[in-house]
Amino acid sequence: MRLPAAPLKNWLNTGLGFFYPETCQLCEGERATAKDGFVGAKCWTHVRFIRPPFCERCGLPYPGDLTTTFECSNCRELELHFSSARSAVVAKTVVLEAIHRFKYQRALWFENFLTDLFLREAAPVLRGQGWDFIAPVPLHSLKEREREFNQAEILARHLSAATHIPLNTKLLRRVLSTMTQTRLTKEQRAKNMHGAFAIRDRLKLNGERVVLVDDVFTTGATTSACAQALRAAGAGEVCVWTVARGL
């Protein structure tokens, strides 16, 4: 018998609470439960949600007062294949640490925290906009086998459940095992991602609108390469949503 989503989530939180102490896993100095993603109230104060003004194309926040829309220099210099990109929060301090530990150290208890940040911002915007699919940025099979999960797919599943936009994990595949983007310039990132993604089994789209999901947006090289493959296969529009935005 399949348990309903809410009772199942409560059961999982209870299980996490049994195995892990109810302490903030970032500062270890205050109380935090599994429901909180093991992030305490003081650490929450370091989260910076992205609010206007920001670049209409890539969502880069602008530290000033603007009353008109603008496009940042990053977008003017790069050929981006998505229509727009938005992120929930700035990729700094506690958010960046939680993402890194979630991805690279299997600190899976941060899933609730990161999902909460993501859904607060993405779900209200995407509901009712007529998107056809949500698609996660895929990992190369070797990396996914090593990590044992794809953080983008986890986020995409939560977003699909919150918005009722169908999840499609079969649209994209990663055909090249690229080097990490961390220490590359934006030009090197774009070159590194060139040809890294392809549509599965020569799938053809017919104008469908796709929401592409990843954990962090920096220059847009990865998501743009995904969007390029989707547009070449016939997608009508591709937008991007991530938890965090690098500055």
Question: Position of tokens 């947006």?
Answer: 217
Q: What is the pLDDT of residues 89-105, one digit of tens each?
A: 999 999 999 999 999 99
Is the link from the previous residue into 21 a cis peptide, with omega within 30 of 0?
A: no
Q: Kindly state whether residue 129 falls inside one of the protein's structural domains.
A: yes
- Of 153, 175, 166, the C-alpha closest to 102 is 153
For the question of whether the overall pTM of this predicted structure is more than 0.85, the answer is yes
Q: Is 94 left (phi over 0), alpha (psi -120 to 50) or beta?
A: alpha
Q: Kindly state whether residue 125 falls inside one of the protein's structural domains.
A: yes
Q: How confident is the model at residue 179 (pLDDT cuts 50, 70, 90)?
A: low
Check residue 157 and give its pLDDT. Answer: 98
CATH number at residue 170: 3.40.50
Mean pLDDT of 111-120: 96
Bridge partners of 49?
Answer: 89
**pLDDT exceeds cutoff 50 at 29:** yes
Mean pLDDT of 211-224: 95
Under DSSP, is residue 2 helix (H, G, I), strand (E, B) or coil?
A: coil
Q: Kindly state whether residue 224 falls inside one of the protein's structural domains.
A: yes
- Which letter does DSSP use for residue 136 in this model? E
Q: How many helices (H) and strands (E) does the chain have?
A: 9, 6
Q: Kindly state whether residue 10 falls inside one of the protein's structural domains.
A: no
Check residue 73 and give its pLDDT. Answer: 81
Mean pLDDT of 190-198: 83
Q: How confident is the model at residue 11 (pLDDT cuts 50, 70, 90)?
A: very low
Domain range for 192: 46-245
C-beta separation of 171 from 133 below 8 A: yes
Q: Kindly state whether residue 21 falls inside one of the protein's structural domains.
A: no
**pLDDT exceeds cutoff 60 at 2:** no
Q: CA 185 to CA 191: how far, in whole Å?
A: 10
**pLDDT exceeds cutoff 90 at 86:** yes
Q: Kindly state whether residue 210 falls inside one of the protein's structural domains.
A: yes
Longest dimension (CA), the chain: 54
Mean pLDDT of 135-145: 93
Q: How confident is the model at residue 84 (pLDDT cuts 50, 70, 90)?
A: very high
Mean pLDDT (the chain, rounded): 88
Q: How confident is the model at residue 185 (pLDDT cuts 50, 70, 90)?
A: confident
Structural domain count of the chain: 1
